[in-house]
Amino acid sequence: MVLALVLFALLVFSLLANFGQMLTNFTHLAPPSHQRGGPRLEEILLKNNHSDNKVAVIPVEGVITSQAIDGTAFNQVDVIKAQLEKAEQDPEVKAVVLRVDSPGGEVMASDDIAKALGAFQEDSEKPVVVSMGNLAASGGYYVAAPCRWIVANEMTITGSIGVIMSGFNYRGLMDKVGLQPVVYKSGKFKDMLSGSRKPEDVSPEEQKMVQSLIDEVYGRFKNVVAEGRTAANKSNASDGRKLVENWASYADGRVFSGSQAYELGFVDELGDFDTAVERAIDISGELDANVVEYRQVVEFADLFRMFGQSEPATVKVDLGVQAPNLKPGLLYFLYTEYIN
């Protein structure tokens, strides 16, 4: 009986594998589709106002990362760039609403998205209006800063302007269990940031080097904020909010409520998603517009890729919240409550 079940399982697996190969071959033989390489997107109608114009909604949700999404070949940055390209190419799209609900994430991924948003507004001359949800902190604010207009709810948590590099030193634990690291290196700084070194072995010179790196990226963050808000003020004339003169003193990692961010000039308006849509229509110069969203379509090949993935067995403790998968040595624009 057991042998029969094993043979049946192998037969089913073989059929699935052959079916997947057949679909792959069919895809290669099929004529090219209207969309070039990249994520395949489907336009979903969120609100029908019986208009010839559109406002495209692009979500930025969760930890901003360059890791592939749900086993597909594309990451969050790829998808957002493809959504912006689709919005730029559609003449019926008059504006974009960037729906942000994120604690931030990787420095490079956040910067790539911010640059793509700036280039989109410049090339298409279509405004991007931000709608902040529960959380738009650190990298979540970084991607919002270059946009034409920012709407936050009074209770939104935003700000957290800063950079963090986090890790663990486990040398004390190693000493307790009798483990001794053996390191061969090409230069005296090759093992910097290693968690197996004694804390007292980290020289002031090394600490200064790491801090200098963080300060450089932090300076970039403040420049993005200053340039983005200045450009928005210039485009919005007297309608938007200006940063207060001492705004940089508030860019020390602290978080603000939406109301506090409004008073300090980090956002332009208090409201909800509908407020952002109305503002986008108004800035675009139109009277009305349908609201659409571009959602990624999962291909058959993606399904088989996910089925074929295997992960090593791990033991997980359920703490009631899914912590982000932070990589040691990477810089993050991340709200620290998601780290601790």
Beta-carbon neighbour count of residue 204 at 10 Å?
7
Q: What angle do CA 119, 247, 261 make, to 5 degrees?
A: 75
The parent domain of residue 120 ranges over 36-166+221-306+323-338
Please check whether residue 98 lies inside any domain of the structure.
yes
Q: What is the pTM of this model?
A: 0.80
* Total count of domains within the chain: 1
Q: What is the DSSP letter of 242?
A: P
Please check whether residue 95 lies inside any domain of the structure.
yes
CATH code (residue 252)? 3.90.226.10
Q: What angle do CA 20, 24, 26 make, to 5 degrees?
A: 115
pLDDT at 29: 37
Phi then psi for residue 26, to 5 deg, are -65, -40
Yes or no: say if 255 and 158 are a contact pair by the CB < 8 Å rule. yes
Task: Name the residues annotated as catalytic.
Answer: 138, 190
pLDDT tens, per residue, the chain with 340 residues: 655 665 566 565 665 655 555 444 444 333 333 445 688 899 999 999 999 999 999 999 999 998 886 656 789 999 999 999 999 999 999 999 999 999 999 999 999 999 999 999 999 999 999 999 999 999 999 999 999 999 999 999 999 999 988 788 888 999 899 998 898 889 888 888 888 888 888 889 998 999 999 999 999 999 999 999 999 999 998 789 999 999 999 999 999 999 999 999 999 999 999 999 999 999 999 999 999 999 988 765 555 554 455 545 444 334 344 455 666 556 777 766 655 5
CA 174/CA 192 separation, integer angstroms: 18
Please check whether residue 157 lies inside any domain of the structure.
yes
Please check whether residue 331 lies inside any domain of the structure.
yes
Yes or no: say if 103 and 135 are a contact pair by the CB < 8 Å rule. yes
- Closest by CA to 142, choosing from 258, 219, 86, 222, is 222
pLDDT at 251: 96
Token pair in block for residue 326: 């932070």
Question: What is the total residue count of the chain?
Answer: 340
